[in-house]
Structure 1
Amino acid sequence: MRWIKLLSALGKARFRTKLNGSETSIFNFRVWVTDIDISVMNHAAIMTIFEMGRADFMVRTNFFKIATKNKWFFPNQAISVQFYRPLKMFQKGTVYTKMSFVDETYFYFEQKIMRKGKPIASCFANGLAKKGRETIPTSEIIKALKIDLDDVPTDRHALISMFEGKNEKMTEKIIDDWIL
Protein backbone atom coordinates (compact mmCIF):
# COMPACT_ATOMS: atom_id res chain seq x y z
CA MET A 1 0.00 0.00 0.00
CA ARG A 2 2.84 2.42 0.77
CA TRP A 3 4.20 2.06 -2.76
CA ILE A 4 0.77 2.92 -4.13
CA LYS A 5 0.64 6.02 -1.92
CA LEU A 6 4.13 7.09 -3.02
CA LEU A 7 3.35 6.55 -6.72
CA SER A 8 0.07 8.42 -6.29
CA ALA A 9 1.91 11.35 -4.71
CA LEU A 10 4.38 11.42 -7.61
CA GLY A 11 1.53 11.40 -10.13
CA LYS A 12 -0.43 14.15 -8.37
CA ALA A 13 2.67 16.34 -7.99
CA ARG A 14 2.99 16.58 -11.78
CA PHE A 15 -0.29 18.55 -11.90
CA ARG A 16 0.36 20.81 -8.93
CA THR A 17 1.84 24.32 -9.06
CA LYS A 18 5.57 24.37 -9.79
CA LEU A 19 7.95 25.49 -7.03
CA ASN A 20 11.33 27.17 -7.02
CA GLY A 21 14.11 26.00 -4.71
CA SER A 22 13.20 28.35 -1.85
CA GLU A 23 9.49 27.55 -1.61
CA THR A 24 7.87 25.07 0.76
CA SER A 25 5.98 22.06 -0.53
CA ILE A 26 2.72 21.42 1.33
CA PHE A 27 1.18 17.97 0.95
CA ASN A 28 -2.03 16.76 2.62
CA PHE A 29 -2.66 13.11 3.50
CA ARG A 30 -4.97 10.84 5.46
CA VAL A 31 -4.08 7.90 7.71
CA TRP A 32 -5.44 4.64 6.29
CA VAL A 33 -5.94 1.22 7.86
CA THR A 34 -2.68 -0.05 6.32
CA ASP A 35 -0.74 2.77 8.08
CA ILE A 36 -1.55 1.80 11.65
CA ASP A 37 -0.29 -0.58 14.33
CA ILE A 38 -3.23 -1.43 16.57
CA SER A 39 -4.56 2.13 16.81
CA VAL A 40 -1.95 4.71 15.70
CA MET A 41 0.09 5.44 12.57
CA ASN A 42 3.34 3.46 12.72
CA HIS A 43 6.80 4.88 12.22
CA ALA A 44 7.32 3.22 8.84
CA ALA A 45 4.16 4.88 7.53
CA ILE A 46 5.32 8.26 8.85
CA MET A 47 8.67 7.78 7.10
CA THR A 48 6.74 7.07 3.88
CA ILE A 49 4.82 10.33 4.35
CA PHE A 50 8.11 12.20 4.69
CA GLU A 51 9.35 10.46 1.52
CA MET A 52 6.14 11.53 -0.25
CA GLY A 53 6.81 15.12 0.84
CA ARG A 54 10.36 15.05 -0.57
CA ALA A 55 9.09 13.42 -3.77
CA ASP A 56 6.41 16.12 -4.12
CA PHE A 57 9.09 18.80 -3.68
CA MET A 58 11.40 17.16 -6.24
CA VAL A 59 8.69 16.75 -8.87
CA ARG A 60 7.36 20.27 -8.43
CA THR A 61 10.86 21.81 -8.76
CA ASN A 62 11.57 19.67 -11.88
CA PHE A 63 14.22 17.72 -9.96
CA PHE A 64 12.77 14.37 -11.11
CA LYS A 65 12.47 15.43 -14.74
CA ILE A 66 16.12 16.52 -14.91
CA ALA A 67 17.20 13.41 -12.96
CA THR A 68 15.44 11.08 -15.39
CA LYS A 69 16.97 12.87 -18.37
CA ASN A 70 20.49 12.66 -16.86
CA LYS A 71 20.06 9.18 -15.28
CA TRP A 72 20.68 10.57 -11.78
CA PHE A 73 19.33 9.04 -8.59
CA PHE A 74 19.08 10.60 -5.13
CA PRO A 75 20.01 8.40 -2.18
CA ASN A 76 19.59 9.84 1.30
CA GLN A 77 22.81 9.97 3.28
CA ALA A 78 21.19 10.44 6.69
CA ILE A 79 17.75 11.06 8.17
CA SER A 80 16.87 12.20 11.68
CA VAL A 81 13.23 11.96 12.77
CA GLN A 82 11.53 13.11 15.96
CA PHE A 83 8.05 11.86 16.87
CA TYR A 84 5.82 14.04 19.07
CA ARG A 85 2.18 12.90 18.83
CA PRO A 86 0.39 9.93 17.29
CA LEU A 87 -1.99 10.04 14.36
CA LYS A 88 -5.03 7.79 14.45
CA MET A 89 -6.88 6.02 11.68
CA PHE A 90 -8.61 8.34 9.17
CA GLN A 91 -7.11 11.51 10.66
CA LYS A 92 -5.75 14.08 8.23
CA GLY A 93 -2.31 15.64 8.36
CA THR A 94 -0.08 17.92 6.36
CA VAL A 95 3.60 17.46 5.58
CA TYR A 96 5.72 20.55 4.90
CA THR A 97 9.02 20.19 3.04
CA LYS A 98 11.65 22.84 2.38
CA MET A 99 15.23 22.86 1.24
CA SER A 100 17.22 23.99 4.27
CA PHE A 101 20.80 24.17 2.99
CA VAL A 102 22.93 23.24 -0.01
CA ASP A 103 26.69 22.68 -0.03
CA GLU A 104 28.97 21.31 -2.76
CA THR A 105 27.71 17.74 -2.33
CA TYR A 106 24.47 17.58 -0.32
CA PHE A 107 20.96 18.95 -0.31
CA TYR A 108 19.48 19.25 3.20
CA PHE A 109 15.71 19.14 3.76
CA GLU A 110 13.62 20.15 6.76
CA GLN A 111 10.19 18.56 7.10
CA LYS A 112 7.37 18.55 9.57
CA ILE A 113 4.01 16.84 9.85
CA MET A 114 1.28 18.96 11.42
CA ARG A 115 -2.34 18.31 12.38
CA LYS A 116 -4.63 21.13 13.46
CA GLY A 117 -1.66 23.38 14.25
CA LYS A 118 0.13 20.77 16.40
CA PRO A 119 3.39 19.02 15.47
CA ILE A 120 3.18 15.28 14.87
CA ALA A 121 6.75 14.61 13.71
CA SER A 122 9.76 16.41 12.28
CA CYS A 123 12.46 15.21 9.93
CA PHE A 124 15.83 16.45 8.80
CA ALA A 125 17.43 14.64 5.86
CA ASN A 126 20.32 15.09 3.51
CA GLY A 127 20.94 13.46 0.18
CA LEU A 128 23.07 13.74 -2.88
CA ALA A 129 22.81 13.06 -6.59
CA LYS A 130 24.58 10.08 -8.12
CA LYS A 131 25.07 8.70 -11.59
CA GLY A 132 26.40 5.21 -11.12
CA ARG A 133 29.20 5.65 -8.60
CA GLU A 134 29.85 9.26 -9.58
CA THR A 135 28.60 12.00 -7.23
CA ILE A 136 27.06 14.92 -9.11
CA PRO A 137 28.01 18.35 -7.65
CA THR A 138 25.01 20.34 -6.44
CA SER A 139 26.15 23.27 -8.61
CA GLU A 140 25.55 21.13 -11.72
CA ILE A 141 22.05 20.23 -10.54
CA ILE A 142 21.22 23.86 -9.71
CA LYS A 143 22.41 24.89 -13.16
CA ALA A 144 20.37 22.13 -14.86
CA LEU A 145 17.27 23.18 -12.92
CA LYS A 146 17.83 26.83 -13.89
CA ILE A 147 17.39 27.84 -10.26
CA ASP A 148 18.36 31.40 -9.38
CA LEU A 149 21.26 31.23 -6.92
CA ASP A 150 19.35 33.64 -4.67
CA ASP A 151 16.75 30.87 -4.24
CA VAL A 152 19.32 28.37 -2.95
CA PRO A 153 19.88 28.37 0.84
CA THR A 154 23.66 28.48 1.27
CA ASP A 155 23.88 29.95 4.78
CA ARG A 156 25.13 27.16 7.02
CA HIS A 157 22.98 27.37 10.14
CA ALA A 158 23.30 25.68 13.54
CA LEU A 159 20.93 22.82 12.66
CA ILE A 160 23.34 21.63 9.95
CA SER A 161 26.27 21.41 12.37
CA MET A 162 24.15 19.61 14.98
CA PHE A 163 22.91 17.12 12.36
CA GLU A 164 26.39 16.40 11.00
CA GLY A 165 27.90 16.09 14.49
CA LYS A 166 25.20 13.64 15.55
CA ASN A 167 25.71 11.56 12.38
CA GLU A 168 29.49 11.43 12.88
CA LYS A 169 29.02 10.21 16.47
CA MET A 170 26.49 7.58 15.33
CA THR A 171 28.87 6.30 12.65
CA GLU A 172 31.76 6.19 15.08
CA LYS A 173 29.77 4.34 17.74
CA ILE A 174 27.76 1.95 15.57
CA ILE A 175 30.10 1.29 12.65
CA ASP A 176 33.65 1.98 13.86
CA ASP A 177 33.34 0.78 17.49
CA TRP A 178 30.96 -2.13 16.97
CA ILE A 179 31.95 -5.11 19.08
CA LEU A 180 30.68 -8.50 17.94
Structure 2
Amino acid sequence: MYPYLRYTKSIVDAVIANKKGHSLDFADTSAVDIRCSVTDIDPMMEMNNGRILTVYDIGRTDFIIRTGLGRRLLKNRWSMVVAGSTIQYRKRIRLLDKVTIKTHIVAIDERWIYLEHSMWVKGKPCSSTLLRTGVTAKGRVIETKRVLEAMGKSGWEMPPTGYVKEWIESDTHRPWPPVA
Protein backbone atom coordinates (compact mmCIF):
# COMPACT_ATOMS: atom_id res chain seq x y z
CA MET A 1 0.00 0.00 0.00
CA TYR A 2 1.17 3.50 -0.81
CA PRO A 3 2.42 5.38 2.29
CA TYR A 4 -0.18 8.16 2.13
CA LEU A 5 0.24 9.34 5.73
CA ARG A 6 4.03 9.57 5.46
CA TYR A 7 3.71 11.28 2.08
CA THR A 8 1.16 13.80 3.41
CA LYS A 9 3.41 14.55 6.39
CA SER A 10 6.32 15.19 4.02
CA ILE A 11 4.22 17.70 2.07
CA VAL A 12 3.24 19.53 5.27
CA ASP A 13 6.89 19.51 6.45
CA ALA A 14 8.10 20.94 3.13
CA VAL A 15 5.48 23.71 3.17
CA ILE A 16 6.42 24.59 6.77
CA ALA A 17 10.13 24.56 5.88
CA ASN A 18 9.43 27.02 3.04
CA LYS A 19 7.46 29.30 5.37
CA LYS A 20 10.37 29.25 7.82
CA GLY A 21 12.75 30.37 5.07
CA HIS A 22 14.25 26.97 4.29
CA SER A 23 13.47 27.11 0.60
CA LEU A 24 15.86 25.74 -2.00
CA ASP A 25 17.33 26.97 -5.25
CA PHE A 26 17.06 24.70 -8.30
CA ALA A 27 20.80 24.03 -7.92
CA ASP A 28 20.47 22.91 -4.26
CA THR A 29 20.08 19.45 -2.75
CA SER A 30 17.02 18.53 -0.72
CA ALA A 31 17.50 16.28 2.32
CA VAL A 32 14.62 14.53 4.08
CA ASP A 33 14.86 12.08 7.00
CA ILE A 34 12.52 9.12 7.38
CA ARG A 35 12.58 5.98 9.49
CA CYS A 36 12.36 2.53 7.86
CA SER A 37 9.08 1.18 9.19
CA VAL A 38 7.51 -2.25 9.37
CA THR A 39 5.43 -1.45 6.26
CA ASP A 40 8.64 -0.87 4.27
CA ILE A 41 10.34 -4.22 4.84
CA ASP A 42 10.18 -7.46 2.92
CA PRO A 43 10.66 -11.08 4.12
CA MET A 44 14.45 -10.48 4.15
CA MET A 45 13.86 -7.87 6.91
CA GLU A 46 15.15 -5.00 4.77
CA MET A 47 13.49 -2.16 2.90
CA ASN A 48 11.85 -3.65 -0.18
CA ASN A 49 13.33 -2.52 -3.49
CA GLY A 50 9.91 -1.42 -4.75
CA ARG A 51 9.30 0.54 -1.56
CA ILE A 52 12.62 2.33 -2.08
CA LEU A 53 11.31 3.77 -5.36
CA THR A 54 8.06 4.73 -3.63
CA VAL A 55 9.88 6.42 -0.75
CA TYR A 56 11.93 8.41 -3.26
CA ASP A 57 8.61 10.15 -4.07
CA ILE A 58 8.94 11.83 -0.67
CA GLY A 59 12.33 13.27 -1.58
CA ARG A 60 11.12 14.41 -4.99
CA THR A 61 8.04 16.08 -3.51
CA ASP A 62 10.14 17.88 -0.89
CA PHE A 63 12.45 19.14 -3.64
CA ILE A 64 9.53 20.26 -5.83
CA ILE A 65 7.84 22.15 -3.00
CA ARG A 66 10.93 23.75 -1.49
CA THR A 67 12.28 24.98 -4.86
CA GLY A 68 8.96 26.66 -5.66
CA LEU A 69 8.32 24.34 -8.62
CA GLY A 70 5.24 23.02 -6.82
CA ARG A 71 3.67 26.48 -6.83
CA ARG A 72 4.39 26.84 -10.56
CA LEU A 73 2.87 23.42 -11.24
CA LEU A 74 -0.33 24.40 -9.44
CA LYS A 75 -0.51 27.91 -10.92
CA ASN A 76 -0.04 26.69 -14.50
CA ARG A 77 -2.06 23.48 -14.07
CA TRP A 78 1.03 21.47 -14.89
CA SER A 79 1.99 18.02 -13.64
CA MET A 80 5.24 16.19 -13.26
CA VAL A 81 5.86 12.75 -14.69
CA VAL A 82 8.63 10.17 -14.39
CA ALA A 83 9.48 8.86 -17.85
CA GLY A 84 12.43 6.62 -17.02
CA SER A 85 14.70 5.49 -14.23
CA THR A 86 17.75 3.46 -13.36
CA ILE A 87 18.68 2.41 -9.85
CA GLN A 88 21.63 0.93 -7.99
CA TYR A 89 21.55 -0.72 -4.57
CA ARG A 90 24.66 -0.85 -2.38
CA LYS A 91 23.68 -1.35 1.26
CA ARG A 92 20.64 -2.83 2.97
CA ILE A 93 18.25 -0.60 4.86
CA ARG A 94 16.96 -2.37 7.95
CA LEU A 95 13.89 -1.90 10.12
CA LEU A 96 14.03 1.35 12.15
CA ASP A 97 17.11 2.67 10.31
CA LYS A 98 17.09 6.46 10.04
CA VAL A 99 17.29 7.16 6.30
CA THR A 100 18.24 10.46 4.68
CA ILE A 101 16.85 10.95 1.18
CA LYS A 102 18.84 13.43 -0.92
CA THR A 103 17.46 14.86 -4.15
CA HIS A 104 19.02 17.19 -6.71
CA ILE A 105 18.98 18.03 -10.39
CA VAL A 106 21.91 16.54 -12.31
CA ALA A 107 20.98 17.67 -15.84
CA ILE A 108 18.38 19.41 -17.95
CA ASP A 109 17.88 19.10 -21.69
CA GLU A 110 15.22 20.51 -24.02
CA ARG A 111 12.52 18.17 -22.74
CA TRP A 112 13.60 16.48 -19.51
CA ILE A 113 14.79 17.31 -16.02
CA TYR A 114 17.11 14.58 -14.71
CA LEU A 115 16.93 14.10 -10.95
CA GLU A 116 19.18 12.01 -8.79
CA HIS A 117 17.93 10.57 -5.52
CA SER A 118 20.08 8.78 -2.98
CA MET A 119 19.38 7.12 0.38
CA TRP A 120 21.91 7.28 3.20
CA VAL A 121 22.10 5.46 6.54
CA LYS A 122 24.74 6.51 9.09
CA GLY A 123 26.55 8.53 6.44
CA LYS A 124 26.82 5.62 4.00
CA PRO A 125 25.05 5.49 0.62
CA CYS A 126 22.50 2.67 0.32
CA SER A 127 20.91 3.29 -3.07
CA SER A 128 20.87 5.82 -5.86
CA THR A 129 18.44 6.39 -8.69
CA LEU A 130 18.54 8.58 -11.76
CA LEU A 131 15.16 9.75 -13.04
CA ARG A 132 14.09 11.27 -16.34
CA THR A 133 11.25 13.59 -15.34
CA GLY A 134 9.12 15.96 -17.34
CA VAL A 135 6.61 18.67 -16.71
CA THR A 136 3.33 18.14 -18.52
CA ALA A 137 0.52 20.43 -19.64
CA LYS A 138 -2.72 18.87 -20.88
CA GLY A 139 -1.06 15.45 -20.90
CA ARG A 140 1.95 16.48 -23.00
CA VAL A 141 5.53 17.03 -21.87
CA ILE A 142 6.43 20.69 -22.31
CA GLU A 143 9.84 22.16 -23.08
CA THR A 144 12.04 22.71 -20.06
CA LYS A 145 12.62 26.23 -21.36
CA ARG A 146 9.03 27.08 -20.31
CA VAL A 147 9.58 25.54 -16.88
CA LEU A 148 12.83 27.42 -16.35
CA GLU A 149 11.20 30.70 -17.42
CA ALA A 150 8.37 30.10 -14.92
CA MET A 151 11.01 29.49 -12.24
CA GLY A 152 12.87 32.72 -13.09
CA LYS A 153 15.79 30.66 -14.40
CA SER A 154 15.79 31.71 -18.08
CA GLY A 155 19.11 30.84 -19.62
CA TRP A 156 20.00 28.40 -16.83
CA GLU A 157 21.78 25.46 -18.39
CA MET A 158 22.83 22.11 -17.06
CA PRO A 159 23.34 19.86 -20.08
CA PRO A 160 23.70 16.12 -19.55
CA THR A 161 27.29 14.97 -19.13
CA GLY A 162 29.10 11.86 -17.92
CA TYR A 163 26.99 8.98 -16.70
CA VAL A 164 23.74 10.90 -17.30
CA LYS A 165 24.61 11.45 -20.97
CA GLU A 166 25.70 7.81 -21.29
CA TRP A 167 22.41 6.59 -19.74
CA ILE A 168 20.37 8.77 -22.11
CA GLU A 169 22.31 7.40 -25.08
CA SER A 170 22.11 3.77 -23.99
CA ASP A 171 18.38 4.10 -23.30
CA THR A 172 17.79 5.02 -26.95
CA HIS A 173 19.02 1.51 -27.89
CA ARG A 174 16.70 -0.28 -25.47
CA PRO A 175 13.97 -2.08 -27.38
CA TRP A 176 10.36 -2.01 -26.27
CA PRO A 177 8.83 -5.40 -25.47
CA PRO A 178 7.36 -7.00 -28.59
CA VAL A 179 3.62 -6.72 -29.05
CA ALA A 180 2.00 -10.07 -28.29
Normalising to structure 1: TM-score of the pair? Answer: 0.89
Amino-acid identity (%): 22
Q: What CA distance in whole angstroms lies between the structure 1 residues aligned with 2:8 and 2:100? A: 18
Any conservation in 2 of the 1:98–1:111 contact (CA below 8 Å)?
yes
- 2:88 aligns with 82
Q: CA RMSD in A?
A: 1.7
Residue 79 of structure 2 aligns to a residue in which SS?
A: coil
Deviations 1:35-85 (A, max 9, x none): 011211101221122111111100001111110111101111101111111
Residue 104 of structure 1 aligns to a residue in which SS?
A: coil
Q: Amino acid of the residue matched to residue 129 of structure 1? A: V
Which of 77, 88, 112 is the matching residue for 1:106? 112
Higher helix content, 1 or 2: 1
Which of 152, 166, 170 is the matching residue for 1:166? 170
Identify if the C-alpha distance between structure 1 residues 94 and 153 changes in structure 2 by more than 3 Å, giving closer, same or farther: farther
Structure 2 residues without counterparts, runs of 5 or longer: none
Any conservation in 2 of the 1:80–1:123 contact (CA below 8 Å)?
yes
Q: What CA distance in whole angstroms lies between the structure 1 residues aligned with 2:15 and 2:165? A: 34
Normalising to structure 2: TM-score of the pair? Answer: 0.89
Q: Amino acid of the residue matched to residue 157 of structure 1? A: T
Q: What CA distance in whole angstroms lies between the structure 2 residues aligned with 1:58 and 1:179? A: 36
Per the TM alignment, residue 21 of structure 1 is displaced from its structure 2 partner at its CA by 0.6
Residues matched between the structures, number: 174
Structure 1 residues without counterparts, runs of 5 or longer: none
Which of 62, 65, 83 is the matching residue for 2:71? 65
- 2:3 aligns with 2
Q: What CA distance in whole angstroms lies between the structure 1 residues aligned with 2:46 and 2:26? A: 34
Runs of 4+ in 1 over 6 A off after TM superposition: none
